[in-house]
């Protein structure tokens, strides 16, 4: 008897690129998305830096999958409501426009879909990552043999640094250990200690001087007092670029103290460490290379697309000591250890690709030009604001400038910052409104290469006029 032919059911082709030939669906989607993104970047000045709340498209998947045209249309709705870093008036935060090569590398990274967890999942990329970390560590002044690992943001780099410091000092089981950092150090340190199971008091704040730099004499006193009382110090954290005013702690003096007391020095260079790559500007962060560990965030000034952060160490082998668990389901490493054994993260994308390609596109002259421009804009703004009577400017030696009307009460400063920020937003200028030393400030981050003197003049005139209104 004849067997009935199998029922043929049309199997919908799943949206994965053909492994045998160019897949027209992929080409159509990438070309469409790329054109749409290019238009979005090219029309940045037609939208405010901070868009009004926009519609978001339907979120749940429908019974059947959608066509590229529909996907792109939905994507456009999200793009319309997105923060607009390519606008010349986007001056609020440490979120610059994206570098061209970084955008392309991010797309390729997604397409390669490699995993930095283990070498067999990312053979070339694991090697590229290790080599670039080594180059970067030495380029910012760490000694021969230094290196590190990328992390998804500076908060994670800081956490991994403190965990590594604790292991290297054998303080894993000590609940009395403390960390000393300046009053202006970043909030991620408190978060790190919390995750590490230490109480809030474990973060001891050291006073800053009038320029927002850690007071070395006060640090010396606190270290001596810890020593006398037998309190173990897990690490001193110095900041190269504080978040509100861009101050750089006196790194050489702090490093000398740490050496004298035998204490780990972590430098949080999330903002300032890239200055070490920019010719003479390296002097602004002198002493970076004296750190035991260093956080670097190329995402914050250089335009490497998010996230791009690295933890660099003078002795990178300590990472393995702090984080290795063994990876029983992987072939053993043929190089310096699997990525997943050298940090907190397991599966990790090849974020190194956009850093590498971005730095190669810029060249050292491009890095220097970014920093030159940022410093020049901060100086210009400071000069334009100097005649504004009653305005206190807070700046360090980097590209940040915060301000507050100093004769007013904290309540009045809060009101001033709100209304002035609103007036600035109406003029397509976005500043942030941090609370610093108990009062509201307006803060400008001058890292946006599109910002011109015209924007800075408008900014200064609005701020100057606002002071008149308040007094």
Ligand X SMILES: *Cc1c(COP(=O)(O)O)cnc(C)c1O
Residues within the interface to ligand X (CB under 6 A): 94, 153-155, 158, 186, 188, 239, 241, 243, 268, 270-271, 297, 309
The CB-of-285 to ligand X minimum distance in angstroms stands at 12
Can you tell me whether residue 357 is helix, strand or coil? helix
CB nearer ligand X, residue 86 or residue 182: 182
Per the CB < 8 A criterion, the answer to whether 242 and 184 are in contact is yes
What H or E segment, with its residue span, contains residue 64? none
CB nearer ligand X, residue 270 or residue 288: 270
State the Cα torsion 427-431-434-436 to the nearest 10°: -100
Calpha distance 455→88 (Å, rounded): 8
The CB-of-97 to ligand X minimum distance in angstroms stands at 17
CB nearer ligand X, residue 47 or residue 443: 443
CB nearer ligand X, residue 115 or residue 309: 309
The CB-of-363 to ligand X minimum distance in angstroms stands at 25
Per the CB < 8 A criterion, the answer to whether 198 and 265 are in contact is no
Calpha distance 403→411 (Å, rounded): 15
What H or E segment, with its residue span, contains residue 206? strand 203-206
Residue facing ligand X at closest CB distance: 154
Give Rg (Cα) of the chain. 25
CB nearer ligand X, residue 86 or residue 243: 243
What H or E segment, with its residue span, contains residue 35? helix 24-42
CB nearer ligand X, residue 29 or residue 290: 290
The CB-of-185 to ligand X minimum distance in angstroms stands at 7
Calpha distance 330→347 (Å, rounded): 13
The CB-of-390 to ligand X minimum distance in angstroms stands at 28
Calpha distance 106→242 (Å, rounded): 29
Token match 């978001």: residue? 56
The CB-of-177 to ligand X minimum distance in angstroms stands at 21
The CB-of-217 to ligand X minimum distance in angstroms stands at 23
CA quadruple 165, 93, 248, 442: dihedral sign: negative
CA quadruple 264, 309, 286, 95: dihedral sign: negative
CB nearer ligand X, residue 146 or residue 295: 295
């Amino acid at each position: 008897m004849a067997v009935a032919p199998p029922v043929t059911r049309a199997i919908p082709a799943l949206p994965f690129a053909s492994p045998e030939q160019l897949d027209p669906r992929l080409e159509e989607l990438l070309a469409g998305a790329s054109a749409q993104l290019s238009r979005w970047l090219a029309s940045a000045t037609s939208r405010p830096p901070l868009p009004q709340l926009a519609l978001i498209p339907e979120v749940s998947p429908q019974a059947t999958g959608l066509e590229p045209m529909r996907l792109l249309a939905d994507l456009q709705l999200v793009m319309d409501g997105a923060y607009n870093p390519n606008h010349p008036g986007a001056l609020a935060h440490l979120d610059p426009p994206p570098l061209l090569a970084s955008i392309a590398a991010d797309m390729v990274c997604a397409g390669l879909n490699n995993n930095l967890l283990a070498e067999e999942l990312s053979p070339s990329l694991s090697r590229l990552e290790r080599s670039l970390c080594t180059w970067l560590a030495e380029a910012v002044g760490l000694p021969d043999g230094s290196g590190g690992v990328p992390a998804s943001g500076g908060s994670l780099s800081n956490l991994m640094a403190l965990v590594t410091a604790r292991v290297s000092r054998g303080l894993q089981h000590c609940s009395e250990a403390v960390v000393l950092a300046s009053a202006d150090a970043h909030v991620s340190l408190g978060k790190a200690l919390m995750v590490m199971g230490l109480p809030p008091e474990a973060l001891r704040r050291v006073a800053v001087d009038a320029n927002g730099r850690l007071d070395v004499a006060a640090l010396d006193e606190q270290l001596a007092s810890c020593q006398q009382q037998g309190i173990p110090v897990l690490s001193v954290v110095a900041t190269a670029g504080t978040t509100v005013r861009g101050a750089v702690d006196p790194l050489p003096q702090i490093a000398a103290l740490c050496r004298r007391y035998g204490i780990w020095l972590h430098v949080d260079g999330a903002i300032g460490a890239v200055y070490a790559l920019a010719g003479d500007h390296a002097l602004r962060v002198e002493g970076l290379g004296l750190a035991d560990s260093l956080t670097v965030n190329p995402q914050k000034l250089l335009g490497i697309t998010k996230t791009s952060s690295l933890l660099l160490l003078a002795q990178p082998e300590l990472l393995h000591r702090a984080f290795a668990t063994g990876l029983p389901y992987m072939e053993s490493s043929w190089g310096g250890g699997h990525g997943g054994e050298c940090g907190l993260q397991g599966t990790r994308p090849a974020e190194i690709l956009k850093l590498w390609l971005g730095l190669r596109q810029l060249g050292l002259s491009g890095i220097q030009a970014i920093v030159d421009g940022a410093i020049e804009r901060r100086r210009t703004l400071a000069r334009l604001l100097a005649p504004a009577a009653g305005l206190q400017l807070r700046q360090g030696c980097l590209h940040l400038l915060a301000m507050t009307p100093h004769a007013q009460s904290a309540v009045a400063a809060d009101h001033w910052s709100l209304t002035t920020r609103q007036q600035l937003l109406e003029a397509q200028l976005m500043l942030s409104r941090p609370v610093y030393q108990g009062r509201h400030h307006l803060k400008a981050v001058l890292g946006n290469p599109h910002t011109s003197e015209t924007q800075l003049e408008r900014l200064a005139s609005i701020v100057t006029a606002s002071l008149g209104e308040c007094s």
